[in-house]
Structure 1
Amino acid sequence: MDGIIRLVGPSQALEIFGIRLVGFNAENARKLLMTLLLFLLIWGARWVIRRGAKLALRHLSGEQAGFWAIQATHLITAVLLLLGLASIWFDDPTRLATALGLVTAGLAFALQRVVTAAAGYFVILRGQTFRMGDRIVMGGVRGDVVALSFMQTTIMEMGQPPSVQNADPAMWVRSREYTGRLVAVSNARIFDEPVYNYTRDFPYIWEEMSLPIPYRADRARAEKIILDAALRHTVTDSQLGREALEEMQRRYFLKPTQIGPKVYWRLTDNWLELTVRFIVPDRGIREVKDALSRDILAEFERAGLGFASTTFEIVGLPPLRVSPGAAGSTGEEVK
């Protein structure tokens, strides 16, 4: 057995059947053992850091504190792991420089997307694109950000309103509510496509509802019913506060705009289209529209108003006469 497997030379290289295996020696074995111990220590340190962060932040509410605790844990353990591996395997600076050169060359060809995703992670950490809990559209996925890692952003997918139901990918949920699917999107997508953020800096969005009414209807009464319902169920100037909008205008040079609900008229070939524009919170939009629809429908019925439609209702038929000369005819009038 000693003749088959031996440790030879000053470096105690492994030799099998007289063939010396490159890289298999006593020194590398010790380094491999130290690497395994390092991974165990890093795993233990990560557990301790996360437990300590939870204890330190247990009195704080909100998602942002927990998010930053998780990201800090990832960054600290990653730095410790890289420093430990470099210290174990590259104790000679010349070897480290050579290894870094080879790794850089390999990254340039084989790991472009990985490097881009990691760069996207640090861009996201700056908080200028989105934060934990934000409602976004990223990589064609609509939903709320629920997790962030070095490579991927995890989004709780939501459905689509009817106006964009034909968008790709199509959803079976016809509103901005969760579908139940968790979608992982590469962080590199922030460099390739725009990221739409529903909630950053201004947790409200503008919405519209269009209602067709006949030209002969009481248009002023219909407008008042719609506007009163919007004032009851949507965000008004007093609820929103001028400070939030003024801050948006200061930071992004937005022009002053209408905050309270407003009804717009549009003439069509078939009816008068009344469109009410209003502001709602970024969550609960379906509930607001449901309440608006119920109130408007009830008030329209009480006021004797109706909605215009392209459908036809057959309420009667003219008398049908059968010619006496027809075969099998009795000459009777059929009504």
Structure 2
Amino acid sequence: MTVSLEQLRRCHVAVDLGAARTRVYVKGMGLVVDEPSVAAVNIRTGALIAVGTFAEQMTGRTPDHIRVVRPVSGGTVIDIEMAQRMLRQLLGTTLRRRLRRKLRLRAAACTPHDADPLAQRAAVETLVGLGASRVELVDTLIAAAVGCGLPVEQPTATMIMVCGAASTQIAVLSLGSIVTAQRVPVGGDAIDRAVIEHLRHQHELMLPSQSVRPLQLALSGNGLTLQGPVSTEIHGRDVATGLARSVQVETAAVRSAIHTPLTAVLDGIGRVLRDCPPDLVADLADRGIMMVGGSALLPGLDQMLRNATGMPVHIAERPDICAVLGLGAMLDGKIAPMVLNPLVG
């Protein structure tokens, strides 16, 4: 763990700045913000037009003088000023006033595994600009494992896979620490692009980017399994004419398109298992893999992992908010540290 539990108990607010969504947990209040990490800006005046869900709905629908931006990419803040402006608006006036009353406001934030010093500094500066006097950084893998109830403090192996929008993080944990981990630059966005490219090349159909995820979830319950329908009707825009058109798409072909980018994730799991001590790998044969993150719900992903690894694969109850809930549990003192006292004699 990056910091001690005692330091985290002194924090007042926890922030998970993700590429897809921003989540804020306030001590004593719970989860207060869960919105897309998106802002819309008037490039002529620099004024902030909208943030969160409303800004995301503007994607691809704005005039030339309004630009929709994402200040976070791959769990790393790439535009500190815009991230601060977005957070201020998401928190709202009432909540900001309440936090300002805290003497020496402390904040905790998730950072991707093996985040470089510049990425860590960007996260710290973002929260310092909002009034935090001290910022504690916690590895996303640890926070997510705590949030989904894994026994991370025990001397047994637990394997977690954080499926984000821009990347997938895989780790084996034991005794509250990361034994071995890999970060794969493939996430939900790459899978979305694979579906869009498949429809474009095979059916000459353009699908709006905002329609890809609902389409995948619909296919999950309507055909993206071996027992589901052979084909599904999809609506989009014809590449040549620009007119609306419907096509029958074979669900097996969509499965194949999704499988292609996920081979990198399978390679990452293989590298983690190869680097893991044999005793811990034996534990994992029974416990399996716990999937968290918004992209954990992608259709067919859990079954593909079962088939490829032969291990049990579980999806957390609330996979999208596990990381911020884990930080919140640490802030609230719900996690008891395992104390290893040195032996005398």
Q: Relative contact order (C-alpha < 8 Å, sep 6+): which is higher?
A: 2
Q: Which entry has the higher C-alpha Rg, 1 or 2?
A: 1
Mark yes or no: TM-score above 0.5.
no
* TM-score, reference length from structure 2: 0.22
